[in-house]
């Protein structure tokens, strides 16, 4: 647990590098010892080579567009399913797979502790393109599962993954704000997919401060740090964290009545 932190220890905002490929782009949104989060952008009509992850499972979430997932079964035959926008799919450890999209897509991959290693390729881009062309007719069946949605007074929470590693998609409407809270055990990372987000903090001798995150920026929240979300624009956050529990969410201020005033303005 990380208590007694100073302001300069909790205000670091990062902008992870975006790496382009022949089929799209990859961004390591966060790579922590406890969990990882990657964004995968698929260009229209392209295909990833088949590959597997040697360091454990992944959970796919389709943020934008439909994703064609090609997978090898136990006999070495290729099966395929479509994960539609807003759906999730579990990918088993060492499962050989590849992604593609006819119209282009954006997806996120959540992973377990220590899952920052690069995937192991088992095919080429050219082979992937041929396989996808063969699968286009007939269209593979739908294989994804929808997220669990919870409407809030400030927007909506969609649960992508709920285990030792947790994942959420948080939609906040402009002007909305969550309550201020802290966690004893949970460590979390916000990745701002779009919009503009202020994170209100209470730190040190109960001093109020804040930081602002824009699109493609990430921010780590340590256990024990009091925090709240304030949407300066309509904002979408992809959150990765350790296990999420209501019993570990401790209310400090009610977001429906509280207004966060920074210490410097008092």
Q: Is residue 89 part of a domain?
A: yes
Buried b vs exposed e over 30-62: b needs ≥16 C-beta within 10 Å?
A: bbbebbbbbbbbbbeebbbbbbbbebbbbbbbb
The 10 Å Cβ neighbour count of residue 151 is 9
Choosing from 122, 145, 168, the residue where a domain stops is 145
Least confident of 19-33, 102-116, 203-217: 102-116
Q: Is residue 117 part of a domain?
A: yes
pLDDT tens digits, one per residue of 230-264: 999 999 999 999 999 999 999 999 999 999 999 85
Same domain, 155 and 128: no
Same domain, 229 and 176: yes
Q: Does residue 114 surpass a pLDDT of 80?
A: no
The percent of residues in the chain predicted with pLDDT above 90, rounded, is 80
How far apart, in Å, are the Cα atoms of 157 and each of 12, 17, 21, 168? 25, 27, 32, 7
What is the number of domains present in the chain? 2
Choosing from 127, 145, 163, the residue where a domain stops is 145
Same domain, 161 and 183: yes
Per-residue pLDDT, averaged over 172-180, amounts to: 98
* pLDDT at position 180: 97
* pLDDT at position 116: 65
* pLDDT at position 49: 95
* pLDDT at position 77: 85
Average pLDDT, the chain: 92
Q: Residue 57 is part of which domain span?
A: 32-145
Q: Does residue 138 surpass a pLDDT of 70?
A: no
DSSP string across 102-118:
SS-EEEEEEE-TT--SP
- Residue 137 — pLDDT band, cuts 50, 70, 90? low
CATH (domain of 120):
2.60.120.10
Same domain, 131 and 44: yes
Same domain, 171 and 97: no
Distance CA 80, CA 66 (A): 13
Q: For residue 114, what are its two tokens? A: 């220590």
Choosing from 96, 121, 145, the residue where a domain stops is 145
Same domain, 119 and 155: no
Same domain, 124 and 208: no
Per-residue pLDDT, averaged over 73-80, amounts to: 85
Per-residue pLDDT, averaged over 156-172, amounts to: 97
Predicted TM-score (pTM) of this structure:
0.94
* pLDDT at position 3: 60
Q: Dump strand ranges (E) for 143-253.
A: 145-146, 148-152, 155-162, 165-172, 180-182, 188-194, 196-203, 207-214, 218-221, 226-231, 235-242, 250-253
Q: Is residue 18 part of a domain?
A: no
């Amino acid at each position: 647990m990380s208590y007694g932190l100073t302001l300069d220890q909790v205000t670091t905002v990062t902008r992870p590098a975006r790496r382009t490929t022949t089929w799209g782009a990859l961004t390591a949104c966060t790579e922590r010892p406890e969990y990882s989060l990657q964004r995968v952008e698929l260009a229209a009509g392209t295909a990833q080579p088949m590959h597997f992850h040697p360091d454990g499972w992944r959970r796919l979430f389709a943020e934008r567009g439909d994703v064609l997932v090609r997978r090898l079964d136990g006999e070495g035959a290729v099966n395929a399913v479509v994960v539609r926008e807003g759906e999730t799919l579990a990918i088993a450890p060492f499962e050989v797979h590849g992604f593609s999209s006819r119209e282009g897509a954006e997806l996120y991959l959540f992973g377990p502790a220590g899952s920052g290693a690069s995937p192991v390729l088992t095919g080429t881009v050219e082979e992937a393109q041929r396989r996808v062309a063969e699968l286009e007719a007939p269209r593979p069946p739908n294989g994804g599962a929808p997220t669990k949605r919870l409407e809030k007074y400030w927007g909506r929470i969609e649960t992508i993954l709920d285990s030792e590693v947790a994942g959420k998609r948080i939609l906040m409407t402009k002007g909305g704000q969550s309550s201020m809270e802290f966690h004893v055990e949970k460590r979390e990372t916000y990745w701002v997919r779009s919009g503009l987000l202020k994170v209100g903090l209470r730190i040190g001798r109960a001093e109020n401060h804040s930081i602002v995150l824009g699109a493609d920026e990430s921010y780590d929240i340590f256990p024990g740090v009091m925090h709240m979300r304030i949407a300066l624009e309509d904002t979408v956050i992809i959150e990765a964290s350790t296990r999420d529990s209501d019993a570990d969410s401790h209310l400090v201020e009610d977001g429906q009545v509280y207004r966060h005033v920074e210490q410097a303005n008092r």
